[in-house]
Each structure stands twice: as C-alpha cells, then as structure tokens.
C-alpha cells in the first residue's frame, strides 16, 4: 500500500523487451536503498524490484500492466515518480493508494495560474469509475484533490512544490497519465451498480 506522496523522481536508463514483458532500469536517489522483492510505485504502478546494480534498480512490467498503464510509452531519459510502500505506524500524509492503476487518462488542458497549475484530464467512463469534488485521485502515483468533477473528466490544482518535484512538470496537453480512483469511491460505485 502507498500514500501517493512521491519520494523522488527516477530516470529511465535502459529498457529491454523480453517477449511480452518489458524490463526497466531506473536510477534514483533511493535506488541504492532498495532490496530485491521490495514493492515500489513507478508512476502509480506497484512493481517489484528484481535487480540491483550500483545506483540502478530493475523492475519488470508484464503485458497486462503495459496494456492498462502508460509504462509502455516510456523512453530512455524519461522521469518517473517513485514511492516506496507505506511503513506500518508511519504518517499517512496522502490517501489510500494500492498501486493498481484503474485506467489511463489524457491531459486535455494545462493552465498556468501564476505559479500554480490546473490540469484537466479526460478518461473513458465505460469502466464506471467516478470522481467527486474535494475527493482524492491518484495521477501518475501522486495523491491529489479533485477541484472540478464531471462525468468523464476532472481537474486538479498543483502547488509549485508538487509541480517541481514530480513528473507533472513534463505533462502536456495530449499526455497520457495513470489514474487510480479512490478505493472508497470504487466500493460505493460497485454497491450502487449491484443495487441497480
């Protein structure tokens, strides 16, 4: 489990295709602290560390993960958001994040608000995921608050610190991001659907 509070940015140093899987080699400020079998969120996707070498760590994404996330679009040199799993007894500064991306969304607007930014993302409503104003949403692994909610889109306001310390600084109109909807909202939506 994660909280959506990004620890650091990682840089994709190498990408290897292996049949339907992809191995990513990532350098970061925390790579030398990781251990084999450790769970780490990469752009909101929970991946297992399978290799370590100096300041690099290796993770593998299987085909199902590649189909449901933006990881297949990554290129060497790209920056990704990293977060290690939550420690029991630690502070819970974000919200409950599972590291299980529900779907991707497309950035349809990016507005500079004199130092802060407002991003608007559009997603496929066929999966019956929902957002609510002032509710939580995870974008590329970042715990954010929804400021405007519509049937198939939502907006988030980004403070300068978050913009500078995550890969939102590189998200532009047309960019694809990973979305994990709030777990409580998903349960409520499922219950309501079952009740008809």
Share of the chain above pLDDT 70, in %: 97
Contact (Cβ atoms closer than 8 angstroms) between residue 139 and residue 70: no
Secondary structure of residue 185 in the 3-state scheme: helix
Contacts of 135 (CB under 8 A, 6+ apart): 145, 146, 149, 182, 185
Residue 80 in this model has a pLDDT that exceeds 90 = yes
Q: What is the pLDDT of residues 26-38, one digit of tens each?
A: 999 999 999 999 9
pTM for the predicted model, two decimal places? 0.93
Across 37-57, average pLDDT: 96
Give, in order, the Cα–Cα distances in Å from 58 to each of 17, 28, 107, 125. 13, 11, 28, 34
Q: What is the pLDDT of residues 83-122, one digit of tens each?
A: 999 877 667 677 888 899 999 999 999 999 998 999 999 9
Q: Sorting pLDDT into bands at 50, 70 and 90, what band is 127?
A: confident
- pLDDT given at position 195: 82
User: What is the torsional sign of CA 7, 13, 15, 16?
Assistant: negative
């Amino acid at each position: 489990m994660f909280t959506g509070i990004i620890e650091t940015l990682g840089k994709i140093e190498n990408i290897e295709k292996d049949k339907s899987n992809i191995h990513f080699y990532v350098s970061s400020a925390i790579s030398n602290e990781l251990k084999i079998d450790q769970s780490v969120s990469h752009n909101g996707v929970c991946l297992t560390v399978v290799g370590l070498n100096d300041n690099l760590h290796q993770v593998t994404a299987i085909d199902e993960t590649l189909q449901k996330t933006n990881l297949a679009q990554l290129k060497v040199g790209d920056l990704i958001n990293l977060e290690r799993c939550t420690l029991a007894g630690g502070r819970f500064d974000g919200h409950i994040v599972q590291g299980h991306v529900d779907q991707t969304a497309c950035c349809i607007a990016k507005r500079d608000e004199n130092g802060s930014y407002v991003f608007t993302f559009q997603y496929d409503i066929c999966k019956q995921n929902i957002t609510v104003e002032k509710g939580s949403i995870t974008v590329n692994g970042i715990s954010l608050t929804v400021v405007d909610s519509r049937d198939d889109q939502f907006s988030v306001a980004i403070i300068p610190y978050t913009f500078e310390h995550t890969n939102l600084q590189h998200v532009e109109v047309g960019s694809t991001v990973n979305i994990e909807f709030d777990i409580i909202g998903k349960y409520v939506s499922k219950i309501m659907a079952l009740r008809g």
